[in-house]
Structures are given as structure tokens and as C-alpha cells.
Structure 1
Amino acid sequence: MKRFLAVTLAALMLLTVVASAATTPDAVEIRGPVYNGSNIESILGDNGTLTIGATQFAAFYYDIDDNVTTETLSIKDVPGTKDNVIGEGGLVYQTKIQQVAYEYENAAAGWDNYSLMGFFADKYIPLKPTKADKLAKLVLDSDDKYTIRTGETLDLGQGYTLEAKQVDVDGEKVWLQFNKDGEFVDDEIIEVGNGDSTWDVELDDIQDEDDVVVLKVHVNQVFQGAVDSIAQIEGLWLIDYGNAMTIESDDEFGELNDVSINGDTLTISNEDTFTLTRDSEEEIAQGMFFKTADTSSNVLRFYLMKQITEPGTYQIRGQVASGDASWDATSFAGFYYDINDNVQTESLSVSGLNGNVIPDGGLVYQTAVKNVDYEYDNAAAGWDQYPVIGFFAEEYIPLKANSADKLAKLILDSDDKYTIRTGETLDLGQGYTLEAKQVDVDGEKVWLQFNKDGEFVDDEIISVGTGNNSGGNWDVELDDIQDEDDVVVLKVHVNQVFQGAVDSIAQIEGLWLIDYANAMTIESDDEFGELNDVSINGNSLRISNEDTFTLTRDSDETIGQGMSFKIADTPASELRYYPFVEKTLGNETIAPGNNTSGNITEPVVDDNNTIDDNTTTETPVDNESTPGETPVEGETPATNDTGTEKGTPGFGFVFGLVGLLAVVYLVRRNN
């Protein structure tokens, strides 16, 4: 009997460990322009072709300085294209090799231009400069300075490292070693006195190609001191040759499976029809989707988007402009947009440009309160619509439905199901939690408690039995939120309650939460970066610049609240710029360098550009997350496959391990 109980206890602990250790990665959605019509034919128009390029779709590769693009996706009016269906061969992805400049500019030392090709919104390098069939992903293109001591290792990303072995006694040469996954690849003694201080690592048999340059390193200085031997690197370029690929004519990329390779150009189309299914995300290929709104059959609305889950910092940009311009949510993916209700609130405009100078009042940001549907659709129970306002590319809720001056960020709007046992806590994000205290013996009521940073806020006994008036709903209303009373800060819908022999369970379907603790009041004399002339008119907000705003070439100029302009490095006779915001996934901010599609990890250095002696910089992995990590805005709390809350993995594992050791001890003692 004791052994049976011990084994049962062990099994339960193992289940606990498995349930508590699961995690869900975050995601960033980079979208293209929104297309709206009665059907696909009306959207294609008389031209019969819709082409989306990099100046419109921020995920596609784009070099703003040289105005270089490589990728397009087209929808064509071919036989079979009708209503919401794209006919065979009507969905065409094309990309072409282009020449781009290295970030490190030194043409005399061989750092002038290289061949690059965007491939499904990632940067790839052709192994042969004019052939599009053999590719390796670009890992690094940097002109930053890195100071590395002898014996130290510089992490280049994707398992590639550079090690400084020795510096010669005269301080004119450094011995560097290139490694992959800790294994030796190549080494070189580089002279910075009178010699060539660039090292090109060339390898053979990369997808059957020889003399492939996989790494370029430029050593700027070498120093032999009394204490330290140091090499300063300025200029790094690296491809992921270990995962290079060859594209064949019979390859398939999601729904794109008709491959044509013509020299430096790659074209892939669909051999079968492609349906823009309403209220869905239909993958085209390689993480690229069409997102289609939930509309009636006589309305079709969709956009192209790239979904990214790899940790890092990503730039989400608007369409490229060369003079006076304006952006809204259909042309700037950073702005708030609800595709199902076709609701947008924000706009940004530039007018009166004189060269590259925006005059006083010529830079205008506007936003207004709009109504959108809850994700949990139950109008009879009070879940119909709520007011929302985009504010500098973030989703906010007005504390008063028709006033834009008092706002709190939206944390959660979810119709997912979450199963929570009594005694468990559901992490809602930003320090807010929901705790199931008890379930009544009849299994018709649950006592829930709402907490902020571990402190009690409110509680309620929610009835889900037949004939109750609350309908399983709980609206948490608080007073004195920016001097406003009766503010709904949390909405919960309890779907079912269960009182079993072992577990007492509440099933939640419907969660909505605002960050009331960090609510703000906007005043007419507030300043938001360069936008400092604030006008509040009921449900709308207008902010403009009281001073001139210069679009300085070859720079990023902050507009306000994390929103900036990126301006190309062009002659004085040209101007090219776009607005952007940045989104970070995971717990590390990864320097994006020249990475417009967000996939390049730069080596991490300290404030003096020196690698720490005891620091190992690793490229984050998709499935890593912080224990107890809260959902990001717009996401739901993490759950396992059954909808049960994902708890903090650390404690569950420790208790499980201690329990297992105790069980082993009991079994051994009984034997």
C-alpha cells in the first residue's frame, strides 16, 4: 500500500512538473497595406494585378539609403480568380539579387558592395553572386567597433564565434580564430601595420560551391600593453553557411509550389487555387500570411503579414515617402487597426516641407476614440463593444467613453478558455492576477479574487447556475482612477464551474483588462517628443510641432513616444524617409544593426565596446521565456493545451524534484 501511494504521488508530481513548465512564445505581426472591396475582382480593378513591394510591406527587405528592394508579391486576375479565390498561377512571389553596400565602408579594402536577395522577408546571400538558386542567410553586417582581448571570444550569432588568440609583441599583428559551435573552422594572422587588415574566410564545398566567402573581418587597431593585449575590430560580415540551401525547381514553399529560377531571379507561384478564407490567417509560405477579416460574403478585406516569433527587436515601418506625405493604419503597420470592424484611429501627416525641414505645425499626429467588438462575443451578457484609441502605436482605453484625455493601456482582450483550479492564480500581465479562492459544494458558484502586484483589489462570488442574473459575469469597477469613478478595469466571464471529488475548477471564457495603475491624463501643455502643441476636442486628440522639425539625412529622428522617422543617406537634392516603431520580443533587447526585417543579432558589448571577460552572449532561442513572464499587449495569458494556466516553472519543478526524492527514499526504505 505504501509503495502504491508513493508511486501515485510520484506520478502526480511528474504531471505537475510537465504542466507548469510549458511556455508560449510571443509574436510580432508586421502587416502590409489593407485591401478592401466587395470581392477580389473589385480589389484588382481594371489593371487586373495587385503588386505589393518593400516600400509598402515592411517585412520585405529594403535599403532606404540606396532605395534597393528585391521582393514583390502579386495577385493576378487569372482564370479561376473570383470572389475570394485566387486562381492557379495568380499568386506570384518574385525576388531578384541586388547589389548593396556593406555597413563598413572601405572600398579600397574590399568593402564596397555585395550581392543580397530578400527571400520571404529574410536577408539571404547568394553563394554565387548572380545565381538565385543557392542561398545562405545573412547573420551579420556591422560597422560597429568591438574591442576584444586575447583569450576572449566574440559571439557573432547562430553558433559562430571569433576568438583573439594572441597579439604579437610589436603590437602590429593579431591571431584570430573563427569557430562554429565551438569547433575550429579557420584562423589567420592579420597585420595592421603595413599589411591588409581585412580577413576573408573562404570555404569550399558549401552546397557544392568552392571559394565561398562566409566571413569578412576588418581589424582596425592592435594594442600590446603592459596588462592587456587588445584587437579592435571595425567591420564584420557573416553568412550562415552551415545552413545554406539549394533551391530546386520541384521545391514547395507552403502554397507556392511552382518554382522558376532564371539567373538572378527567383519566381514562385501557386499551382492550386488559394482561398482568402474569411476570419482566418492563411499561410502563403515561410511565415508569410494573408489575414482576412470576418465579414459578410459581399465584403472582402485582407492584408499581407509576416509573423515573427524569434526573440529580438523588430522595426515596423510605414510606407516610404519622398515629400509631403500622410500615413494611417492602412499604410503604417505600427498604428492600431482592427481588421474585422475596419477600425483605425491614428494618422500622421507631413506638410509644407521646405527641402528637408518641416515647418511649425507641419507635423501632425491625430487620433480619436472608436468602438470595437470584444474578442469574447456575447452582447446579451454585456460583451458587445468597448471604446478604444490608438496612442503612438499602442492600444489604449479611454477612462470616459467619449473623452480622449484620460487613458489606460489595454492589457488583455481574450475569448480563449482558461481552466483554473481553486488555489491557483492566473497571470493576466503587468502584475495583475486572478485567483480562484473556492468553489461552492453545489458546483454553481466560484469565489474569485483580483490582485495587483500581489495585493488585494476586489473579489466576487460569481454564479453560473441556471436562472442567475449575472450570467457568469464580473465587472470590476474602481474609483479615483485619474479622478474618475466607476471605471471598469476588468471584465471576467465564467463559463462553467465544476466541483469534483479531487478538483474544484472554474472555466473562464472572456477576459478584458486595462492597466489602470498606470493610467494617465493628457493636458494641453504636455509634450510628446517633438510634438508639443496639444489639442483635445472631446473624443479626438491632435498634437503638432511648435518648432521646425528637420529630417536630418542618414539618421533616426524621434517624433514622440517611441515613434521615429528614418531618413536615408541621400544627396541634398533627394529626400527619402518613413515612420517606424520598434517592438521587442523576449527579455533581451538585441541590437538590430542594419536589420530592417529584424533577424540579425549583433554582438553585445558594454558601454566601452569591450567584451566582458566573463560574459557569454547567446542568440535567444524561440522557445525560451522568463518564468512568470506576463503576456504582452494584445496577447492572452499563457495556457497549456487544455487551457490551464501556465504557472511559474521554477517552483513547480523544485517542488516536483523534492517530492520525487522523497518518494525514492520511501520506496528504498520500504524495500
Structure 2
Amino acid sequence: MKPCTRRVLLLLFASLTACLMLTPLGSAAPPAPAVSGFPLDTGETSSDGFVWTAATFGGFNYPVNQHKSFVASENWSGERLQYVEKDGQNELGKNNPGNHVIGEGELVYSTRPFSSKYTLVSALELNSKTIPEKLGGMFYYKLAWFGKPYITIGNDSTQLTTLVISQASGEKKQLKTGESWDLGKNYSLTVNQVDVEGEKVWFSLCKNGEEIESGIVSSNGTVNDKTFVATADFGDMKDQLYFITYVDKVFTSATDSFAVFKYTWLIDKDDLMLIEKGDEYQGFEVTEASESEIVLKNSKSITLDIDKDKKTYFTDSWYFQTSDEGKGSISPEGYVIYPAADVIVEDKSISGPKENTTSAKEANITETISSSDPETSNKSASSTSLIQNEDNDSRDSDIPHDKMAIETSAKTPSFDVLAGILGVVLCHALLKRRY
């Protein structure tokens, strides 16, 4: 069978499998949805060809506006998972297609930082000459760490913290005198007093109810006048920026005075993760830890289970899945392998208190199904469900993959069955044409 014909059949088979997975059968619970990576065949892939990036594995953090740098062959950013043969034994790939053991230190996970514009900068179309001097720059830097985005402290990848809130350019928060805004993670912003005539507002930033910053900001004047910035010493850094807000305007009603806040950005200066060489995370050991890159390797050998539907976990949430031996491979001993990650289905029918719409939110993955189809899998996992708005629109909706959610909706069984039948018909037609 020609490689192209076999590839088409593989894609059709994956699509059919996904359709059948979605088809309700009596009262049986459907299998857990997952995001999966591009499938590779051990019978035709060289040992240095087993590489997955954010564009080919939906479990990785993937800001769509960073696509070029994430897929670059050199000077790339983001996460990568790669098999690296080191001892000449049990080589994975076409020289030894039946091998299903990844030796110690041969599975390499690397991650590099990437830049993101502050919302204030992108929304107001500021440049290096017009940004407030106290901002210190136009960008901050993120590091994807096992699928979840963190903020680097002082652009150092070995010192990380979490984002509390990043208001998108179209969002705003209106507060009256005495009112508090829950920013998340026990942080809050309280309006103490509004001076409408002087067009100023006095507010406090608090954590656990205790004031940690206070400022009086004008709503009239330059961008610099309307912007408040807070810095502190944390990690190994001095005077690091951790809070920004912008007072858009103040006004009064018949009974109250109000202030409107925009472009608010806050990281948690008290929740730090420091990464050092020799540290272990989820079965991986840190072998390189620098400001520009973190490299980890598996601390124990990994034996792949190549029985159908079996999962071989190599982190707490990521695993390899394979075809049966010889299935989908040009070699009778080879098999198809791809990384995958289960996701949690969030039941939207359960109502609860609404979150503050301006708080940092977990983005929802929409209908991502485990599939070995590189077109279906990568478009749904990377281009649709894992798209995160970055930089230009400055909305921080990165997905923390340890708490991924899926928007669920009622499926029409007949549609899925028809899709499955169509897949069978197409497969049959291709086989008939080939033979």
C-alpha cells in the first residue's frame, strides 16, 4: 500500500473512531475526552523524528499569536517533547520498529519563555517612547510549564509566579466609593474616595484584607497620570513590577461617586516557584536551568504498553497511546504512537455563583476529542480549543491544563452515526480503488 493511501486510511480511521466515541450507546458513560498529539509511525520515523511542539500536541500551552516562534526550527519558544537516543540500545524508530522502551534520560521536555504585551500597551497603541516610564517596558514574559502558563520574574525562567488577573482591552470595572473588587487569590482593590471635581480616585490594593499598596490617581491627563504601578522585592529580584491599573474616568450619580478601572494586571508575588538543576517534577529531572530555557529528562525508563487503548503515563496527566503492534505501520513490528492528555468535562447544567468577569479565567476547550488524526486532532486541540489570545488583544486566557474543561452540549446521535457510516464508505472506496 502506498504511504499516502495508508495515511488517508489512518486519518479516516481516526475520524471514524472519534465519531463512534461520541455516539451514545444505551446508558453507558462516554469515554473521557482528550487532547492528543500528531501520530508517528515507528516503522517509518527515524529516531530523531519523534518531536512534538505546541502545534502538534494539544496538551501544551498554545498562544495562537505566538505560532511562528512556537514552530520555528531555531530560536523557538514554548514547549517541546522529544525522544533523544543516547546509548544505542533499544532505539525508538525505523531502525528498531518494534522497540517499546524509552530509556532513562531519552525523553526530553524543554520549555522556553515567550513575550506578551501588557494590555495597557496594546490597547492604547503605545510604543517604547510613549509608555509610562514606571512601566519599565512594553512586555512581560511567560513560561509554559507542563501545559500551564506562568509569569517569569525579571524575565528569568527559573523564577515563576502565577497571573491573578489581566483585564482584556474591552473590559472595565466600575466601582463606587467604599466598594471592593475581588481580583482573585485573596487580592482585592477598594475605592476609598472619589474626587469628581478634581477628577481623582484614592484606592487601596489589599491581600487577605490587609492593605499592601495605596494610590491617588488622576483620570484626567496623560497616560502616565492615569496609570498606577506597584513594585516589590520578591524572588531574587528587587523592585519587580507586579500590579498595574489604569483609571479611565470618574463620575457621579444622584447618590454615589464612581471610578472606572481598565487594563488591570496583577501577578501573585507571594506564590513563587523556583526551578533549579537537579529538581524533579512529574517523573522528570531538571538537567538545565537558565534564564532562557529549562530542560528536563525522564528519570526512569518508560515501557510503552502497545496494547489497544492502553495508556502509558509519563507525567501526572500526559501519556502515550499506541496502536496494536503492526497496526497502522508499514512494518509488521511497528506501531503508531502519540502523546495525549485527558481533560475534565465541566457540566454546564450545574448552576453556581458567577465569577467576576474581569478575573483571570480558565478558557474552555470546545469539543476536543482524542484522535490520531493529525488534521482533526491538531486543528481542534491547537487551532480551535487551545487558542489563547495573546499580545495584540492582550487577553490572558491561557489554559491551565491541570484543570482543563470542555463545553458540553447535546449531541444528535443520528449525526454521529451518519459521520461514522460515511467514514466506513470512504475507507471501503479507497481500498477498492487501491486493490
Which is higher, the Rg of structure 1 or of structure 2? Answer: 1
> What TM-score bracket applies, with the shorter chain setting the length?
0.5 to 0.7
- The one-character-per-residue Cα deviations of 1:498-552 (angstroms, maximum 9, x if unpaired) are xxxxxxxxxxxxxxxxxxxxxxxxxxxxxxxxxxxxxxxxxxxxxxxxxxxxxxx
State how 1:631-642 maps to structure 2 within 5 Å: none
Specify the alignment match of 1:121 in structure 2: 147
TM-score by length of structure 1 reads 0.42
- The one-character-per-residue Cα deviations of 1:295-347 (angstroms, maximum 9, x if unpaired) are 348453443234455975423599xxxxxxx974343346xxxxxxxxxxxxx
Specify the alignment match of 2:54 in structure 1: 54
Say if 2:284 is the partner of 1:256.
yes
Distance in 1 between residues matched to 2:229 and 2:401, nearest whole Å: 23
Specify the alignment match of 2:213 in structure 1: 186
- The one-character-per-residue Cα deviations of 1:373-405 (angstroms, maximum 9, x if unpaired) are xxxxxxxxxxxxxxxxxxxxxxxxxxxxxxxxx
Identify which of 134, 138, 154 aligns with 2:163.
Answer: 138
Distance in 2 between residues matched to 1:36 and 1:197, nearest whole Å: 53
Q: How far apart are 1:133 and its partner, in Å?
A: 0.8
Q: How far apart are 1:119 and its partner, in Å?
A: 1.3
1:250·1:259 contact (CA, 8 Å) conserved in 2? yes
State how 1:66-215 maps to structure 2 within 5 Å: 66-67=66-67, 68-69=69-70, 70-79=78-87, 80-82=90-92, 83-104=99-120, 105=122, 106=124, 107=126, 108-109=131-132, 110=135, 112-129=138-155, 131-142=156-167, 143=169, 144-194=171-221, 196-204=225-233, 206-215=234-243
Distance 1:162 1:168, change over 3 A: same
Distance 1:160 1:46, change over 3 A: same
- The one-character-per-residue Cα deviations of 1:81-109 (angstroms, maximum 9, x if unpaired) are 44111122221111112222223423324
Distance in 2 between residues matched to 1:229 and 1:27, nearest whole Å: 53
SS of 1:244's partner is strand
Letter in structure 2 aligned against 1:198: T
Distance in 2 between residues matched to 1:229 and 1:72, nearest whole Å: 51
Distance 1:179 1:93, change over 3 A: same
Identify which of 305, 322, 333 aligns with 2:340.
Answer: 305
1:34·1:301 contact (CA, 8 Å) conserved in 2? no
2:59·2:318 contact (CA, 8 Å) conserved in 1? no
Letter in structure 2 aligned against 1:137: T
Q: How far apart are 1:264 and its partner, in Å?
A: 1.3
Percent of pairs with identical residues: 23
2:61·2:386 contact (CA, 8 Å) conserved in 1? no
Distance 1:66 1:329, change over 3 A: closer
Say if 2:331 is the partner of 1:331.
no
1:199·1:217 contact (CA, 8 Å) conserved in 2? yes
Q: How far apart are 1:76 and its partner, in Å?
A: 2.3
Say if 2:321 is the partner of 1:292.
yes
Distance 1:133 1:313, change over 3 A: closer
Letter in structure 2 aligned against 1:35: P
Identify which of 568, 578, 594 aligns with 2:383.
Answer: 578
Letter in structure 2 aligned against 1:192: S
Distance in 1 between residues matched to 2:401 and 2:377, nearest whole Å: 24
The root-mean-square deviation of aligned C-alpha atoms, in Å, is: 3.5
Specify the alignment match of 1:230 in structure 2: 258
TM-score by length of structure 2 reads 0.63
Say if 2:36 is the partner of 1:32.
yes
- The one-character-per-residue Cα deviations of 1:603-656 (angstroms, maximum 9, x if unpaired) are xxxxxxxxxxxxxxxxxxx8xxxxxxxx9999xxxxxxxxxxxxxxxxxxxxxx
Q: How far apart are 1:218 and its partner, in Å?
A: 1.4
Distance in 1 between residues matched to 2:162 and 2:101, nearest whole Å: 33
2:35·2:343 contact (CA, 8 Å) conserved in 1? no
2:231·2:240 contact (CA, 8 Å) conserved in 1? yes
Distance in 2 between residues matched to 1:164 and 1:333, nearest whole Å: 43
Could you tell me which runs of 5 or more consecutive residues in structure 2 were left unpaired when the two chains were aligned: 1-29, 71-77, 93-98, 327-332, 347-361, 388-393, 412-435
Distance in 2 between residues matched to 1:126 and 1:249, nearest whole Å: 17
Letter in structure 1 aligned against 2:35: R
SS of 2:46's partner is coil
Distance 1:290 1:32, change over 3 A: same
Distance in 2 between residues matched to 1:173 and 1:260, nearest whole Å: 49
Q: How far apart are 1:178 and its partner, in Å?
A: 1.4
Letter in structure 2 aligned against 1:232: V
Letter in structure 2 aligned against 1:304: P
1:154·1:162 contact (CA, 8 Å) conserved in 2? yes
- Bigger RCO (CA 8 Å, 6+ sep): 2
Structure number with higher strand proportion: 1
Distance in 1 between residues matched to 2:148 and 2:386, nearest whole Å: 19
